[in-house]
Amino acid sequence: MVALLARMRRERNGAVADAMCRYGRPCALNYGVSLPTIRQIARAETPDHAYARLLWQQDVRELRLAALHLTDPARLADEAGFWAAGIVDAELAEEAAFALLSRAECLEGLFAAWCADADPLLRYAALLAAARSVLSTTAWIAPACGALSIPAEPAAVRLVAQGAVAMFAALGTRSPEARLAVLRAAEALPAGPAADYVREELAWRLE
């Protein structure tokens, strides 16, 4: 871990770190290393689940992001709470969706639970993962709509709505039937900022 952190520090960019402003709580340490560089460094490591868990427990942005590429997605079903606890900002939610959730076979069972969670970051991560996963179906539309209905501050509402758009757009391109199901669900959303955003985005993404 010390060696990995040293490699990250060599790539640090203080100006970038200072300029970062993402929804959620920032990690205690942030070296401003670009995401592509973090991914490149992490992929040069040997995947190791126990090692990934250790990295995830550190309150260091770069180590947590790297952990998502080193863990075993098959273990997520038994450790969902552990990984959920470390998703403290939007960037970690996005990378968790990309590197871990979308590759996990347990996503189908996890999706509805995270969509109903009070934490908007978990709802956001679940929706983004569904957008990338081959497991998602039109049956996932109802939990996704439910994720939009949970009261939250405006910034969180917008974040979850962005995740819903990503999922709905991906699902809607798979077949005419899926497109129709997505558009019908969007039209049925209760009036509000989230519904307005989803409908506006889908109007051109699924035109």
Kindly provide the b/e burial profile for residues 45-75, where b requires at least 16 CB atoms within 10 angstroms of the residue's own CB: beeeeebbbebbebebbbbbbbbbbbbebeb
Q: Are 57 and 190 in contact (CB under 8 A)?
A: no
pTM for the predicted model, two decimal places = 0.95
Report pLDDT for 15: 66
Report pLDDT for 18: 65
Report pLDDT for 12: 85
Q: What is the C-alpha separation between 191 and 187, in angstroms, rounded?
A: 9
Give the C-alpha distances (Å, rounded to integers) separating 138 from 59, 95, 142, 196.
37, 24, 8, 21
- Structure token pair of residue 181: 């199901």
Q: Supply the angle between the helices 35-43 and 2-10 in degrees, to the nearest 10.
A: 140
Averages of pLDDT over each 10 residues, the chain, 207 residues: 90 73 88 93 94 97 96 95 97 97 95 97 98 96 96 95 98 96 96 96 93
In the block, residue with structure tokens 């109903």: 116
Report pLDDT for 61: 94
pLDDT digits (tens, 9 = 90+) for 78-115: 999 999 999 999 999 999 999 999 999 999 999 999 99
Q: Are 179 and 173 in contact (CB under 8 A)?
A: yes
Name every residue whose Cβ is closer than 8 Å to that of residue 101 and which is 6 or more positions away in sequence.
76, 107, 110, 125, 126, 128, 129, 133
Domain definitions of the chain by residue range: 1-71, 90-207
- Structure token pair of residue 132: 């990338």
Q: What is the C-alpha separation between 88 and 42, in angstroms, rounded?
A: 20
